[in-house]
Structure 1
């Protein structure tokens, strides 16, 4: 059975200043998502599921349906603040959805096979999709999920702070925990995150999660249970987020499911900030010159 790729594209890009998911960066107007989908198709994925907002769902369909027709099946689900489990309450003043864990839960009804999760505005590296596809097709079970891990130094923006899930693993590449660090920045003396009023440095070679996960549909029951608990505790807050690393850490602590870290030396890049776009364009142009991608990605 071919795996599915779940693309988290519902973020509004407040720091970026626009709908960054469909901002063109390739020489023929390609988005970062286009390159991820191309790599996923070549790696053997059989379906794409986009998580979007209702406000731009039609815009997404207009952009992707025609170019993907005959190449891979594409489906769409929407993430909205009101889509919560029955009986759950939250503040009526809340307007934004509940984060990456909530986004994945939105796809419960349309995914019945092993699947990978990526962010729409992140470039993960072509080889990472082949690594993940191999894992999903031959190793991923309800007892062992997977995650592509990246070197911290390969994931830092030059234009501001980012959030990173710093991973703790054992000698067998099994994930022990993911600690979400916010305000991670490159300093003169290295890479550090801000904790209260001080900066704490992190090993630049540390493995971090960039939200490239491999799951079976068994993850959905975990998500639903934990999201219900999350809303009971944080549902009255305006900006609380239900992050997928929190869910995975809880699953690991329960001891029934392991998470294998699939290490990658790929250099990640993304468009967290408007200023990141120039670097993304330059990086794609370099890959085109190297022959990794054609100048017109969907020419055939």
Structure 2
């Protein structure tokens, strides 16, 4: 952490909500799971505002803007500075061309780049359809409030979850398995696929490792300073030069973070949390999410009517 001046403004929360939700089906970002019709992201926003975040930036698709504003954004506009950013396939740096057959935008790293004009203060990044818990936002808020926005290298953070607390009962998942050094700094994120709850078994990059469940994983819950955005743009441009004519390749945020670490442009502190992550990866996950939220309400973590 830098000893230089800290941020004078409340951090922003960048919420990635443009995903198509292909495995789950439907617009899961606004699927009600709380007793008052709340979506998962309502709880994230509630926790973020309580932790001192002041601006909400939603990355959405233009084709569901009106539904999103009506069903989600309107609830927050009296409580925070709310901005909307569109992630579009053709919104790219430089003069990169896109294959006409490509349908989807370019992944989570591209989504952050699309929001660059709104990110002038330290900011956190989350997925709209993941529940991270109040502790995650408290840790993010404290870290970002104490960091120097102009520090070099950039001081960033990642909330680290235990693998066992991030699995679905209804199918295999992919997770970013984190390597952390003795100073609690992230050194690598390696994507592992086919991880199942039954035996906490999966396939790593080489197709071999099995997991204990105690591994630290990234669930796309990050804290950054705005200084990283220039590097994200450079990396996105390089990615497009290599893969821009492909139909399904994506520029993922963990890849951008790895690039920041490898070049020495950022130091990423891993902030472990004991909180249980949950999300609706498969439609069958939804009843479990509803039950988990009801338990949290009954134990006093949240009011039954979140925005009453």
TM-score under structure 2 length normalisation: 0.93
Structure 2 residue aligned with 1:16? 24
| Alpha-carbon shift at residue 74 of structure 1 (Å) | 0.8
Tell me the secondary structure at the aligned position of residue 33 of structure 1. helix
Query: Partner residue of 1:116?
Result: 124
Alignment coverage as a number of residue pairs:
297
Q: Distance in 1 between matches of 2:214 and 2:42?
A: 29
Which of the residues 166, 184, 187 maps onto 2:198?
Answer: 187
Alpha carbons 1:124, 1:268 under 8 Å: kept: yes
Aligned equivalents of 1:185, 1:128: Cα separation in 2: 24
Within 5 A, what are the aligned runs for 1:84-95? 84-95=92-103
Other-structure match for 1:101: 109
Q: Post-superposition shift, 1:159?
A: 1.0
Instruction: Summarize the Cα distance change of 1:215–1:223 in structure 2 as closer, same or farther, 3 Å threshold.
Output: same
Q: Which runs of 5+ in 2 are unaligned?
A: 1-8
Looking at structure 1, the residues matched to 267 and 88 of structure 2 have their Cα atoms a distance apart, in angstroms, of 30
CA contact 1:140–1:215 (8 Å) conserved in 2: no
Correspondence 1:219 to 2:219 = no
Task: Give 1:139 shift.
Answer: 2.6
Residues 15 and 128 in structure 2, CA contact (< 8 A), matched pair in contact too: yes
- Point out 4+ residue stretches in structure 1 off by more than 6 angstroms: none
Flag the 1:280–1:140 CA change in 2: closer, same or farther, 3 A. Answer: farther
Q: Distance in 1 between matches of 2:148 and 2:179?
A: 20
Q: Who is 2:185 aligned against?
A: 174
Q: CA deviation at 1:231?
A: 0.7
The alpha carbon displacement at 1:229 in A equals: 0.6
Residues 30, 72 of structure 2: 8 Å contact kept: no
User: How many angstroms apart in 2 are the aligned matches of 1:278 and 1:155?
Assistant: 16
1:152 corresponds in structure 2 to 163
Structure 1: stretches of 5+ with no match in the other structure: none
In the aligned structure 1, how far is the partner of 2:33 from the partner of 2:70?
Answer: 18
1:260 aligns with: 269
Q: Offset at 1:68?
A: 1.6
In 1: Cα distance, 2:35 partner to 2:203 partner: 35
TM superposition score normalised by structure 1 = 0.95
Equivalence for 2:259? 250
Aligned partner of 1:206 among 215, 218, 222: 215
* Cα RMSD for the two superposed structures: 1.4
| 1:75 matches 2:83 | yes
| Partner SS state of residue 179, structure 1 | strand
- Aligned partners of 1:25 and 1:161: how far apart in 2? 22
- SS of equivalent residue, structure 2 residue 286: helix
1:235 partnered with 2:234: no
Q: Which residue of 2 aligns with 1:125?
A: 133
